[in-house]
Each structure stands twice: as C-alpha cells, then as structure tokens.
Chain A
C-alpha cells in the first residue's frame, strides 16, 4: 500500500500542492515509506488497530458462520434476500477468513514487528550497559531519603553494595547508581514475540491439519483415510497420503439420561466402546466427551450420537431390497429424529421412505408425533412412502429425501403412513412391498482431528503468558546512593529512587535500603527526614 503510494507520487514528480496551501517539504519515495512505516509502527496506530480488531471480530459472533453452521448461513441468506447475498459477498459468513479481518490483524502484527525490533535493539544495549550516572540533585527524584551516619563515605558505599541486592550497580563519584528489573522489558518483548509465534503456529497448524467426521453405527467401523469420511476439512498443505491408516470399530454406545426431576432427560453420560487397530497394535478404549481416543497422534472425539433404526424392505416381487441400520438425525433434546430409507433397486423404479424416529413416542394434536424422553422407552417410526428414486442427482444427504420427481404413495385419498414399533411391519398398498422395523441400534458421530500443530501453538501460548506475567508484575527501578562528608565530620547519606507505576513499592524499597544503611553503625537517627515531595 505504502509502496504504491510512494511510486505514484514519484512518477508524477513531487505532488504539487494547491497554490493556496502552504508548501511543505516534499517527500520522496523514501520519505513516504519512512512516514508510512513510522505511522504504522507508532503506539497510537497499534492501539487503534488493536481496538479495530476487537470491532471487526464482532460481526462473526452475530452472523452465523460457514465454518461452524453452514445450514444456518443458507437459511439466513434465504430469509434476507438481497441483503443476505450482499453480506455473503462482503464475507460476513466467513468473517475470520475474510480479507478485511486478515488485513486488520496482519497490519497489527506488522506494526508489532516494527515496534519489537527497535525495542529489542535498545533493550539489548541496555542489558550490556551500566546504570546511568547519578543525578546531581537527588532530592528532585520521586522518593528521596537523607540522613547522617558515623562511618566514612567509602565505607557507606561499600556496605551499600551489599544492601543493593539484585541490582546492577555502577560506582560513580561518591555515589552508586543501581538498576534492577531488566527482566521486565525482556518479558515484555518475549510476550510480543510469542504472539507472533502464536500466529505462525496457528497458521501452520491449519495448513497441514485436518478435521474429519464420520457417522458410525454400532458394529460399524471406519478407517482413517482420505475418502473414507462423511466430510473432511483440511489445510492447503494437507496430504491425504500422510494419514495413519488406523481403524476404529464402534462396539457399543452407552448412554445415560437424568431420570427424574426438572432436568429430566438431560444427558449424564455418553460412552462409546471402541476397538482400534493400526499397523502394529490393537486395543479397546472408551471414547466419551472430554475423553478422546488418541492413536498415532491423531485424536478421535465423540461429538454426537443418535439412533439408527434397522429396516428390512421388500419390493413387489418379494425380494429384500434394503436391509440394515439407517442413522436418523436428532432434532431436539429428546432425540426426535428425522431420516430417510432409500431402496432405489426396488422393482418399479425404486422405493423410498421418510419420516421420524421417536425413542419415546407421543402423539400430540398440536405438535404431531414427537419424543418425550431421549432414551428408548417406546421407540416408534412414522414413515411416508414414495415411488421412484433420487437417481442421477448430486449425492444428497443420507438423512433427508429429496422428494422432487418422486411419487408419494397414497392409501385411498390419504398419504400412506406407517407407524411401526420394533418387530412390526407394514404393507404398502397395491402389493408394492413391505417395510419392517427390525431393531433399533445407536450411532456415534466421530470427529477425527490431527493434533500435530497443537504442541507448538500451546508452547507459543505458554511463552506469551509467561512473558505477559513478567512484563506486568516485575518492577523496573533505579536507586542511587550518595555519601558525602558533612561539615560536622559525619557522613551525609542520600538514597533516592525512580520507578514506573509502583509508587508504594518504590517507597518501601528505598526505605529498606535507607534503614539498612543506617542500622549497622547503630548511630542515632538524628536527621531522619524525608525530603522532597513524594510523587506517585
């Protein structure tokens, strides 16, 4: 941006100011670059970018985001018509990967680099230099103590070196200059560098990482391989060939729900018993929320579950055209589930069914068939039937039936409706076939995530936290001790301190030093007076 601006200015010669405006000094390319860089790396710009980042993060929390709720995004666009399309074009549904969001944080991090690099240089020099010369008038410093002792000045300064524990001390004429808390700036720089590191590790983790999902019914299994998943999201540098080909079989899914009280039906435990095996090992494990299975650095999470009724469908010829479990998608907390059974090979162009599965069925005049408890108390399916198939269409969801072009089967003038308990079957009209609810088993939704990028990210975050704490909690302060021979033969000792933002602590520290310098001789504290104003 700055470069373009500079080049344009240069090719046009110097920009000619309007004659009415006072002509200032003319900036060349270098001047504009320097100006741009200085502006970008100034504290004020950094602060504005920081606040701007907070602001631009807001829309992503208000609008549904494609990354987490693609269906809601589609609904939102549908509901809002042209506004929805406009918001979409502006990146409103992909805020955190949108160019404008990236622009803000990239500018912020550029500004950060521009701030950290010179500060590191300055701090590096400070680390190797000695505390600065003692100011002539110590009484002008925020905290100042003055008293007299018996010992000669040399001896006072000698013992002061012992008193200034933890300080870097440099002797000057009749005085000591001491400084401590260099680690505060080191920690501050560490924090900012760690933030940069965090950005890099997050980016790299996303490039090589992947997240995949698979619905598995009890007794079923999946293999960790590209193409084996229901869905997979991965970064640009992801290579499917790198996946460790382990296999996970769902043996049984255990569930437990609250059985009484106002929280009736609230989940209490989900427990997927699995058997896993990779090239050289095998084992069983329990996968539960907060307890993922880890195989070869890849984690397998239990992120959802539901019911998979087992159906048997015959066609008009009596042939079994469908037999097996079909996962139904839960729609509410009592597991009212929606699903479809598709038998495209049935005689006469195919048969299809769609409807509800209810683990604890209840029929209500207002809401229709629904479930009143999430566990299997009185399981029932309610199904409509269709002739035809979805052939030739883009592979749709296994949970829903696209009824376009399908002919609904009628029973008289009513749509045909089957209501089946386990073990029950229903006959389609006109001898078209039968459907039987053989059994009900459960399915688990497994999410498989690669965790390779997480270690470095965590390390960067921990470094940032350590740096932050050091930067905020350590104190940097300078203390000076001066000892001069007084007129009465006693030694006048002055202790003064300078610090940032911690007035109370500085006073305590200076008092401690003054007290320790006073006590060894056990001389009467005759002229113990705080001098100068104590500024905070």
Chain B
C-alpha cells in the first residue's frame, strides 16, 4: 500500500470514528430529553407552538410530544453526560487518525499537504476539530462538538467523493515556501473561525431563549460565558487571518508582481477580514453587542466559506485554475 493510499484509508477510518462520536453526541441529546412537568402540560397549546416555550423554569419544544403527566421528571437522563464524554473520546481518536491522514498525505506528496482543494479540505476540517478539542480543555463547550464533528464529517465526505485527487507535484505557480506559510495560516483560521461561529450561534440562541432554557434537557453555559468564549476565539483568530491575508499579499507580489490585484479570492479574503473587524468593533459598540454582533460574526464566517467554495465555483480568478485554494 502506498503512503497516499494509507492516507486515504486513514481519512476513511477517521470518518468512521467521527461518525461514532456524532452518534454518541446524539444519544446524549436524546437521553437528555426532559420530561415535561405539570406546568408545561397544562399549556398544550403553547407547547405546540413552533417556538420554544419556557414556563416556570421547565421547557418544551414542539419537536417533543408531551409525555404522560404521570412520568417522573428528571431534568435529563441519568447517562446523558457519560455518552457525551464518550463522544469526546471518540472525537479525540478520530482527530488523531485525521492528523495521521494529513501527515501521510504530506509524506506521499513530498510537500506541505495543502496544495489543492482536497488537501485543504482535510487539513481545514482537522484544524476545526483540533481547535475545538484545545478549547474544550479550557472551557466546558462539549456541546459545540454536536456541530463541529458533523461539520468535519461532511467536509471529509465531500473531500473523498468530489475533491479527491492523487498527490502530484505542484504547478509552478504554487512552488513556493509561501504556500506553507500562507495556506497554513488560512487553514488554522478557518478551523478556529468555525468554532467561533458555533459559539456565536449558541450565544445568539441563548439570548433568544434566556439562560434557563436547556437544549434537549442539557444545560448550556449562560449567554455571558458563551459570548466571552466566542469573543476569545475570534480575538485569537483575527490576527491569524490578518497574517494569512498579508502573507498572501507578499506571495502574490513575488509570484505575480503585485501584492494586491482585486482577484475574487483576494477580494473575499478582505471582505471576510472587514466583516470580522466589524464583529470586534460591534462587541465594543453600545447597542450592537448581543445578537447583532453574533450576526456579524456569522456573516464573517459565511464570507469565509464563500471564499473557499463560492469563489471557486462561480467567480474564478487567478487562484482558481490549478489549485482552487
């Protein structure tokens, strides 16, 4: 078996373990399903409404049909937390396999393993999981894995089905050590912005529901903590992204004779930068901190994703022809 095949097998193995981790997270959510208390059952009409309803500290959402009122009312299943911890263990194992896949790909290609869209996808999704796991050591954000792990799984799935390409020598325009620097910074920031987007979205949801609302019976951290963590992640990532854009400009100067040419990729990198700068300012502006700053952060993430997908598919430009990255 060649190293390239080994890398691909490791990707499949990582996907399998990610799938297990995802299942365990879902089991946690399912077991954590709260049983309605009398207060909620007394208001079936409101319970049926589309929006989540909070009544006297207990909660119900439309997706969950009311259980018989006689049932006991624990806030969450006894083993919910254990399934969540198992999910994290699976995620760690999957991330290690994933890392090995990236490393093997680099060995097979004899260069930094991010020279085309397939490689960028597997490295970027690894970065997203890695940032999540590192953040998890500091903050109780296990539930963010419910989004990050399926996201990684989806990206890997797309990578092996749509984007896969044999490891080849790079086209001349990419043969530069700036590839290592510029794209590595872009990969790290993409991964970290992913966690930032998840936390910002969670914060937004928290603001709408209030701090007592539980997600499928599992207590989420209060809004203020989520906001702080989302901000910390963005504050870490924004300079990395700034560096990625600057390194790209330096490389462009060396490769094309101009450091900035308003190529669609460059333009959208700048748009992403501006929107995230807007988020950081919104956090400090009266009347903007809250759901508005969350919305700006999510818009920044949308611009980031558009730059990696939409620009390649619809807008083209000089980044597109060979690498797509």
Residues of A within 8 A of B (CB): 43-44, 46-47, 50-51, 53-54, 57-58, 60-62, 65, 67-68, 95-96, 202, 211, 258, 261-263, 266-270, 288-290, 292, 299, 301, 303, 333, 447-449, 451, 454, 457-458, 461-462, 464-465, 468-469, 472-473, 501, 503, 536
Contact = CB atoms under 8 A, between A and B. Distances in A.
A292 B258 contact: no
A61 B311 contact: yes
Given A65-B262, A268-B169, A501-B231, A290 B285 contact: no
A61 B267 contact: yes
Nearest to A503: B228
23 contacts: A44-B286, A44-B287, A44-B288, A50-B278, A50-B281, A51-B275, A51-B296, A57-B270, A67-B261, A263-B165, A263-B166, A266-B168, A266-B322, A267-B171, A269-B172, A290-B176, A290-B251, A290-B255, A333-B321, A458-B250, A462-B246, A464-B242, A472-B239
Contact of A68 (B263, B303, B321): B263
B262 to A, nearest CB: 5
A57 B281 contact: no
B73 interface: no
Interface of B: 165-166, 168-169, 171-173, 175-176, 178, 224-225, 228, 231, 235, 238-239, 242-243, 246, 249-251, 253-264, 267-268, 270-271, 274-275, 277-278, 280-282, 284-288, 296, 303, 311, 315, 318, 321-322
B124 to A, nearest CB: 21
Given A58-B271, A67-B262, A472-B235, A289 B255 contact: yes
Contacts of A333: 321
A299 B259 CA distance: 13
Given A47-B285, A290-B173, A303-B257, A54 B235 contact: no
Nearest to B249: A461
A451 B259 CA distance: 10
A68 B257 CA distance: 13
A54 B275 contact: yes
A51 B278 contact: yes
Most buried by B among A46, A60, A68: A68
Given A54-B271, A536-B228, A289 B173 contact: yes
Contact of A290 (B175, B246, B322): B175
A54 B300 CA distance: 10
A525 to B, nearest CB: 27
A454 B168 contact: no
A262 B165 contact: yes
A290 B251 CA distance: 8
Nearest to B284: A43
Contacts of B231: 501
Given A53-B274, A60-B262, A472-B239, A261 B168 contact: yes
A503 B232 CA distance: 11
A501 B284 CA distance: 10
Contact of B274 (A50, A288, A503): A50
Contacts of B172: 267-270, 288-290
Most buried by B among A202, A269, A289, A468: A289
What does DSSP make chain B's interface, helix, strand, loop or mixed? helix
A57 B274 contact: yes
A254 B264 CA distance: 31
Contacts of B173: 289-290
Given A54-B274, A54-B278, A267-B172, A211 B315 contact: no
A60 B250 CA distance: 22
Given A68-B263, A95-B262, A267-B172, 20 more contacts: A47-B288, A51-B278, A51-B296, A58-B271, A61-B311, A61-B315, A261-B168, A262-B165, A266-B168, A268-B171, A288-B172, A289-B173, A290-B176, A447-B256, A448-B257, A461-B246, A468-B238, A469-B239, A472-B235, A503-B228
B257 A299 contact: yes
Contacts of B235: 472-473
Given A468-B238, A468-B242, A47 B281 contact: yes
Given A44-B285, A536-B228, A454 B175 contact: no
Nearest to B169: A268
- Lowest 7 A-B CB distances belong to which pairs? A449-B257, A290-B176, A289-B172, A61-B267, A54-B274, A61-B264, A301-B257
B222 to A, nearest CB: 9
Contacts of B278: 47, 50-51, 54
Contacts of B176: 290
Most buried by B among A47, A270, A473: A47
Given A54-B278, A61-B264, A261-B166, A457 B322 contact: no
A79 B239 CA distance: 43
Contacts of A270: 172
Most buried by A among B243, B260, B267, B285: B267
A475 to B, nearest CB: 11
A449 B172 CA distance: 20
Most buried by A among B172, B275, B288, B318: B172
Nearest to A43: B285
B138 to A, nearest CB: 8
Contacts of A262: 165-166
Most buried by B among A54, A269, A299, A303: A54
Contacts of A51: 274-275, 278, 296
B301 to A, nearest CB: 13
A332 to B, nearest CB: 11
A60 B267 contact: yes
Contacts of B262: 60-61, 65, 67-68, 95-96
Contact of A465 (B224, B239, B274): B239
Most buried by A among B224, B249, B253, B322: B253
A183 B171 CA distance: 45
Contact of B259 (A68, A96, A457, A473): A457
